A and B are shown apart, each in its own frame.
Chain A
Amino acid sequence: MIEILFYVLSFVSIVTGLMVVFAKSPIHSVLSLIVTFFAIAGQYILLNAQFLAIVHIIVYAGAIMVLFLFVLMLLNLNKEAEPNKDIAMKLAGVISASLLMVTLTGALHGSVVPEATLAVNTSNGLVKNLGQVLFKDFVVPFEISSLLFLAAMAGAVLLGKKHPSQITDSEIQKI
């Protein structure tokens, strides 16, 4: 049962992942990516990381992808026409990506993952456990990451704002 679920989810995520890459319209890409994220969230549940799965859906599907969509809509980029790339460049992209895959799998194939030493604890993925680890062992990185967020927020606002000098005379008159 779990195996079937795993394969189905894997299949879905790979196919939608490919769709992200090959879809002509950016909107389609976004939608496919959302599906991929859901599939990955399913994998998390299979892995007993329930809280992670929830957060994943909230953050990625709920926030990040919405942001993408907003931007696409706002900028009206929903055009299918993307300037065509060099065919050689495309070929090189595909080949090198597959090469990477081959080498990676080749490299991973020989590697031996040590067996787990501790007994399986299914409650690892629960909020309580994670919270304890996060606020005990990783409290400093946690605080730092909050700073990072703050900085990113400020940066995004600053970047998104029009610089006063860029405002043209006609715009001033409109105001």
Chain B
Amino acid sequence: MGKSLVGMVGSGVVLGSFILSVMAWMQVKESGAFEANAFTWLEVGSLHIEFGFLVDELSSLMMLIVTGIGFLIHVYSVGYMHDDVGFHKFFAYLNLFIFSMLLLVMGSNYLILFFGWEGVGLCSYLLIGFWYKNKEFGKAARKAFIMNRIGDLGLLIGMFMLFNEFGSLNYKDVLGAGLSSSYAITCICILFFIGAMGKSAQIPLYTWLPDAMAGPTPVSALIHAATMVTAGIYLVARSGVLYTASPDAMQLVMYVGLATATFAATIGLKQNDIKKVLAYSTVSQLGFMFVALGVGAYTTAMFHVTTHAFFKALLFLGSGSVIHAMGGEQDIRKMGGLKKYLPITHLTFLIGTLAIAGIPPLAGFFSKDEILTNTYYGGGSFVFIMLCITSVLTAIYMLRLYFLTFRGSFRGTREQEHHLHESPLSMTLPLIVLAILSVVGGFLGVPEWMEHKLGLHHTLNGWLGNVVHNAAHPAVTEMFEYTLLAVSIAILFILALAVRTFYISRKTLPEPDEEEIGIVKLLSHKYYIDELYDAIFVRPIQSLGTFLHDYIEKPVIDGLVNGFGRLSKSSGKLIRLLQTGNTEFYLLGMVLGIIVIFVLNFIM
């Protein structure tokens, strides 16, 4: 098949599934959730698992995101991957990913979710290691898969506990049951959260995500920003009823989310690889979502998933466009002034930056604002303040990225400068669509004051209300909202100016790697977490392997077995000495033997 045909088929089927998703969404809207069982996958004893699908408000939202953004990224890939020899393979993997992701969100029980869950992990592995000739890429792929598997084990055991507790893995049976808080439920929630940690890159299982940027950029956009990594959010939101019954687990989710958000944001400040910055930004944003889940704001988390999918996919695709133009260069120290060469990319990237930074009325503002509001009431002031600081950090690193890449003067080689060009239509079109979505996406969930003032509705809250709903909190005072709005706008402008002054007017550049010192070095080396993990997990296990093989297996276990052999051999050698060959000696032995037998006979 020719490349254009492959691209058309690959994108076409995703478009088809997008259209079907829209239809499913309409059906749900009209007549509520519906379930369909394909066949009985497994029936062993009391364990009965249907290969079944459940389309309700939550899953249809995810389906729309997955297929919609998936389609855009497919289109983008046609342009981006055009010159790659693995073009066919790429689209095959990408479509396999869409399949797995849909399985994940559409399953009617936890096991089908798990199928998709591992399926997307596999596709992620295949796509990160897409350029398999590079050893480092292969390692990154392996790391991603293995870290995901650690989480998967948590999820798997959580499922066993769940089955033990409820006798079923179906969402309906589990989530419909009246729940009271119990130790088992807390355990299940924590185990599920471990699964979510792996998939959604939370502390301590987040280090794979930045490394996953080894994959082609569309992959980073689709899998490692917009869809797969939000599967953890989906899982927790889906199990919202369970989490609500376990305040302890919620606390854990919140604090882990908060820690990840802050931690990743600080690392993002000093990264110089355009994709790495975005990767840490993703980790940080996922942390935001978990904080929202931790305070019981499930729909808010889903709202942020949606808006984040728009602007983060946009940013990644934009960065892909930049990398494409730069001929594979990813270091922002060698970019600069790309505004005039890549006008469309620049504009859309700017929109994405502003959206993630939280400038009203772009999408990021609404969702982040809602998270902050919910945290204020549900999480206590410490969490709220930390999260606000993290939002500020988000704005800083994104603005830094923007200014260093697009403003100022070009710092690359002449050759690169000569090569600079705007990307083809198949790449810019998705950028434009996503930019529009990033602008208007926020109106899916407007804050309360807008509801009153402008007569708009929080569509998403109402929509998802049938599946999960936010924990109740007191009505937000308008004063608070206005303050938050004003302060955030003010801070953003000040920041924008400051960052601009720092990097553009003063032409300060991030120092080369070897000149970094102190905290800067610490940050750019990501707090040495990779090295730490290497030292406390990877190497010990490897040396344990060598140790077991060399010092336990060979001398002890095998030694014992061989010892038996040696024992019989050496005892044979010893007993052989009795055979002197001296006939009289044998005769004597015989006679003595007879005597002994007689005596024994006599005694008994």
Contacts and interface: CB of A to CB of B under 8 A. Distances in A.
The majority secondary structure among interface residues of chain A is helix
A93 interface: yes
Contact of B592 (A89, A96, A107): A96
A100 B591 CA distance: 7
Interface in A78-118: 85, 89, 92-93, 96-97, 99-100, 103-104, 106-107
B585 to A, nearest CB: 8
B219 to A, nearest CB: 87
Contact of B601 (A93, A100, A107): A107
Given A107-B601, A107-B602, A99 B595 contact: yes
Contacts of A99: 595
B592 A103 contact: no
Interface in A40-93: 85, 89, 92-93
B592 A104 contact: no
Contacts of B599: 103
B590 to A, nearest CB: 10
Interface in B570-604: 584, 588, 591-592, 594-595, 598-599, 601-602
B528 to A, nearest CB: 81
B596 to A, nearest CB: 9
A100 B602 contact: no
Contact of B594 (A89, A100, A106): A100
Interface of B: 584, 588, 591-592, 594-595, 598-599, 601-602
B583 to A, nearest CB: 11
Given A89-B588, A103-B595, 15 more contacts: A89-B584, A92-B588, A93-B584, A93-B588, A96-B592, A96-B595, A97-B591, A99-B595, A100-B591, A100-B594, A103-B598, A103-B599, A103-B602, A107-B598, A107-B601
Contacts of A104: 598
B376 to A, nearest CB: 105
A75 to B, nearest CB: 19
B588 A96 contact: yes
B601 to A, nearest CB: 7
Interface residues of A, number: 12
B584 A100 contact: no
A61 to B, nearest CB: 27
Contacts of A96: 588, 591-592, 595
A100 B594 CA distance: 8
The majority secondary structure among interface residues of chain B is helix
Contacts of A92: 588
8 contacts: A96-B592, A96-B595, A99-B595, A100-B591, A103-B598, A103-B602, A106-B602, A107-B598
Contacts of A89: 584, 588
Contacts of B601: 107
Nearest to A103: B598
Nearest to B591: A96
Nearest to A90: B584
A111 B592 CA distance: 22
Contacts of A97: 591
A84 B369 CA distance: 116
B594 to A, nearest CB: 7
Nearest first, the 4 A-B pairs at minimum CB distance are A103-B598, A96-B591, A103-B595, A107-B598
Contacts of B592: 96
Contacts of A100: 591, 594-595
Interface in A101-138: 103-104, 106-107
A99 B584 CA distance: 17
Nearest to A93: B588
A99 to B, nearest CB: 6
A85 B591 CA distance: 18
A85 to B, nearest CB: 8
A13 B601 CA distance: 30
Contacts of A85: 584
A78 to B, nearest CB: 23
A104 B584 CA distance: 21
Contacts of B595: 96, 99-100, 103
Nearest to A92: B588
Nearest to B585: A89
A81 B595 CA distance: 32
A100 B589 CA distance: 12
B599 to A, nearest CB: 6
